[in-house]
Structure 1
Amino acid sequence: MKKITSIMLTCILISLLAVPSFGVTLERDISNARIFRNINISKNALSADNIKEINVDINNKYFTNKKISLLGIINNEDSFNIQAKIDKNGIKDVKDEENNFDVLNIKLKNDTAFLILYKKDKHYMVYVTITDINNYYNEEIEYNRYWYGELLEPKISEKDITLLSPKSSGTKTKTKEKTYTYEYSIYGDKIYERLKMNFIYIYPKSKDGNEIDFNIKMKVKEKFTEIEYYDGRYSKEDGCSLFVPGGTLHLATDEGEMVVKTETIKNCTLKGKGLNFKYSWCYNIPKTIFNITSSYDEDKETNDDKYMYDGYGDKKATQVSVTLNPYKYHLEKDGHYFGVVAGVGSADGYSSTGNKKIKTKWDFYVQSISGSGANHSSHKKYSYSLYYDVKL
C-alpha cells in the first residue's frame, strides 16, 4: 500500500512540474523567411549567390506599447534574442542580446512584423515575416527605414526642368526644378530616392535707379521613394533619406550696380548650435561687370538675419554671399526653404540705363541621413542670371 501511495505521489509531482508557468509559450511558432547566402556588396548593389525560402523558429514574441522582444533561431543554425523599445515616435535601442546578428530593420504593419537580420561572419542576410503580432499603435512604425544606405554607395544623378510661372503685374517669377536621385539595387529590387528642389526667383521687370529687391529661394518641393520590385511590382512611398544641410547664395552685380542689403528667410529644421549666418563681400568700384567669386575680401558671422553693405568711398559691395550654417539648419521636409532677399541699387556716377543682370549661384550639399562621408554626400551648385532694365 505504501509503495502504491509513493508511486501516485511521484506521478502527481511529475505532472505538476510539467505545467508551464504563466506567460511562457512552449508551443513553437513557425515564421516564413527568405535567406540570402554569400552576399556581395558592390558600390550601389547588394546581391547574393544563393536565395531560398526557409522557416524560422520563433520561441517567443512579445509586443507591447513599450517593448518588443523576439527570440528565435534561423534555419536551425543561429539564434537571436532581439530587444527594443517602442513608442508612438518609433522603435529605438534595438539590439540582439546574443550578438549574433546586426538588426538592420524592423517594420510593423497591421498585425505583421518584418525583420532584416545580417550575419556578418557567415555572410548571409535574412528577411523574416512574423504574423499575428499585437501592434499596439495600430499604424506603420519602422526602425532604420534606409538601412541599405549604411552598406552601399548610391548612384547619384540629377535632372532639371524649367517650370511655367504665373504672371504677376510689374514682377517676374522664374522657377527652375532639379531632381536629385540616389539609386540602389537590393537583391534585384530597384530603389530610387528622389529629392525635388525648386529654385525660385521673384524680381521686378525694371527699376528707376533706386533700390529694388530680388527674392531668391531654394525650396524642397517633394521627397519620395520609388521601388521597382524584382517580380514586377511597383510602389511609391512618401519621404526619402535625402536632405540639404545649409547652403550659400552667391551674388554678383552688373556695371554700375551694387548690393545694398541682404535679408535671410527660412523655413527649416533647427539642429545644432552656433551662429546662424555668415556674410561675405568684396568692395569694388562698380563701373564694370563682376562675376561670381568664392574668394571674398571680408566676412562676418552673426545671428542677425539682415545685413547692410555700406562700402567706403566709391567702393561698393559688388560681390556678396550669404551662408546658412549647415550644422544648424536643414531642409528635410516638403515645403522647407532657404531664401535671401537682396536689395540692389545703382551707384552714383557709374550707373547707366539698359538691360542689366544680377548673377546668382546656390552652393550646397545633398546628403543622406543613412551613413556618413563622401559615399552619402554630393556637392551641388546651381547658377542662374536674372535680367532686368534700369531706367534713370
Structure 2
Amino acid sequence: MRYIPLIAMFFAAACNNGGGKSANNAGAYTLTEQYHLDADSVTRFAARTDLPAAEADRLFRQAIDKYRNKKDPAGALPLFRQSILKAPRAAAFFEYGNALSDLGNGDKSLQSDMSTQQALQAYHIADLLGYKPLSKLLYNTACIYAKMEQEDSAFHYLVSAIEFGYTNTDQIYKDQDLAKLRMHRWRFDNEITTALSGASDPDRLLWKLFSREFQPLELPVVFDLKYGEDKTFDDVTYDFEKFIPEMRDGKFSRDVGSEFYYIGSVQSTPLYTVVTYAVKDVMMDEAAPLCYYLASFDPNGKLLDKLIVGGHRILDEPFRVGKITANGDVEVKKFAVRYEKDPATSGYAENKMEEMNEVGVDYFAISADGHITPKSAPLAMK
C-alpha cells in the first residue's frame, strides 16, 4: 500500500501556527473561521465533548441540500463552515472539500487556485477525523491533483484509492477530472491494470469493506425507543448503497432525506452474515426514532433477507420493538402508538408519546441458509 496521510507534509507549516486558541484548557478550546482549515486547531476543537452536534448536523444537511440538490456549491460553503464551527466531523469536511473542488474547476484565476488548495486541506482534515470509506477520499484527492496537472501525485492517490477498495472502474475511465491523466495512455493503463490486479474481485472487496464495520452485538438485544439513547453509531455512506435497498429507494436526494447507521453484527458463518443497521428519516424530524433492520447476506454480499425489528418507516405502520437472541430467535412486538400531536405535521421533538398499546407479536428464526423465516411462538425467549 502506497498511501500516506493526505498531503501531510504539504500543509505541515499551516498546521503548526497554533490558531484557534482562546483558552488555556482543552475543554474551552474554540474554533474560529480563520482557522477552520487548520488541522491542529480542528482536531483539538473536535475533541471537546460538549459541542452542539445536532445543530451542526442540521447546518450540514442544509449545506448538502444546497450543494447537491440545488447545484450551488458557492452558496453551500458558508453553511458547511457554520456546521464545522459548531462541531467538526469528517463528512462535513469531505463535502466541503468537494464543493471547494467544484469551485476550482474551469478558469485558472487566483481564486480558483485558492479553492483547489483549500479543497486539499479539507480532505486532509476529513482524513484525520476518520472519514470512511477512505478509498473515496483518496479518489477525490487524485482528481484534484489531476486537475492541477500534478501527474505523479494524481497517480499516487488514484492507485492508493484502488488499493483501499475503490471499485468503480467505469468512473475511472470516464471521469472528466482524470482526463489529463488518461492522455498518458500507456502509464494510465499500466498503473490502473496493476492496481486492479490486486483487487481481482472489486465487488467482493466492497462487501468486505462494508461488512467489517459491523462490530458484534451483545446478545440478547432489544431495539426499543431507549436503545440508541446512550450510543453513538457510525454513519453508513452512500458508497455502500448496493447493500442497503433503502438508500436506493429513498424519496429524497441522497445525504438529505435519510441517515443510515451501522448497528452491529448478529451472526457470521461461512454461508451467511447477519447484521443490523438503522435508518432515520431526518427530513421529517431530527428527533425521529430510528428504524432498525435485521439483514442477512451471502458471502459475496448479496442480500438474502431483511426484516424491520425496531421502529417503523411509515407512520401508519405499527411501531415495532424487536428482541434478538444469541441462537438466532427473533421476537417482534407491534404497537399502536399515539402521540400528543400528529408527528406527520408536528414532528417528534417535544411531542409526548401518550399511548403505546401492543397489537400483536411475530416470531422469526435465522435459518441454516441465512434466511429470516417465520416460526410459531416459542415457550420462552431467553
Into which bin does the TM-score normalised by the smaller protein fall? Answer: under 0.3
TM-score, scaled to structure 1? 0.21
Q: Which has the larger radius of gyration?
A: 1
More strand by share: 1
The alignment's TM-score, normalised by the length of structure 2, stands at 0.22
- Higher relative contact order, chain-length normalized (CA < 8 Å, sep 6+): 1
